[in-house]
Chain A
């Protein structure tokens, strides 16, 4: 895959694949997020207004998914990369790749549905379970830390939210890595 991992990064990814270790990492991530963002208010909550069969869905993943011809996520900045990539609903799935050195994506490379289930959602639309796919979907990279947290929170995340409004999206389905 595009990024080259050091032996240490490989071992670290093995370690973090263990759920209990991942929870420890999550605790640290919580502390950093709280420092950067005020989470004390109410959790935002919108109401589902339509049956699924009439709803338009957008997929958002933080697994580092993007088109091969798009610039990869920044692997040099230890705080991650809060930018995102637009993925058209009509994309040839073979053109998608993953840039994200902070988790082992061997399985996601083998089957993108593990992190970005666009193929399943195409099926669900065809079956009439869900009304339609949004024209574009969004790939982020997780592992956002320090200065990249406010960038995500104040800029790129609201920007994507506004694009979902423009696209008349009824609900979003989010997958981490």
Chain B
């Protein structure tokens, strides 16, 4: 997936990726990634947990707007199945960028 992100970025389009394998993401040089230590097959979390999924999307969009150096990996540290998620503050994204 990192190679795809690099190809997209190379034509001038910014990308943000979710990563569940930090070593691979680092080694390939993914332009911007949010890493979560979650099981393979669950980049946005558990099924039918929309708040969890949206929290990860929010973290990715925040990184997209904030990152200024290539290869940055944000690690919000969400634990697998041990977090309580609330609706992200989407309005805070509208003021940026």
How many pairs of residues, A versus B, come closer than 8 Å at their CB atoms? Answer: 211
Query: Which B10-28 residues sit within 8 Å CB-CB of chain A?
Result: 10-24, 27-28
Chain B: number of interface residues, binned into ranges: 35 or more
Q: Given that A114-B44, A127-B90, A129-B94 are known contacts, is A165 also in contact with B13, CB under 8 Å in the complex?
A: yes
Q: Which of A33, A34, A46, A162 is the one whose CB lies under 8 Å from B9?
A: A46
Min CB gap B75→A, angstroms: 13
Q: Is the CB of B60 within 8 A of A173?
A: yes
Q: Which of A45, A48, A63 is the one whose CB lies under 8 Å from B97?
A: A48
Q: Which of B16, B69, B71 is the one whose CB lies under 8 Å from A171?
A: B16
Question: Does A89 have its Cβ within 8 Å of any Cβ on chain B?
Answer: no
Q: Is the CB of B44 within 8 A of A51?
A: no
Query: Which B62-97 residues sit within 8 Å CB-CB of chain A?
Result: 64-65, 69-71, 90, 93-94, 96-97
Q: Is the CB of B57 within 8 A of A120?
A: yes
Q: Which of A25, A107, A158 is the one whose CB lies under 8 Å from B47?
A: A107
Q: Enumerate the 10 nearest inter-chain pairs by beta-carbon distance, A residue then B residue, closest first.
A: A111-B47, A45-B70, A157-B7, A43-B70, A26-B24, A26-B21, A44-B9, A51-B97, A30-B27, A174-B17
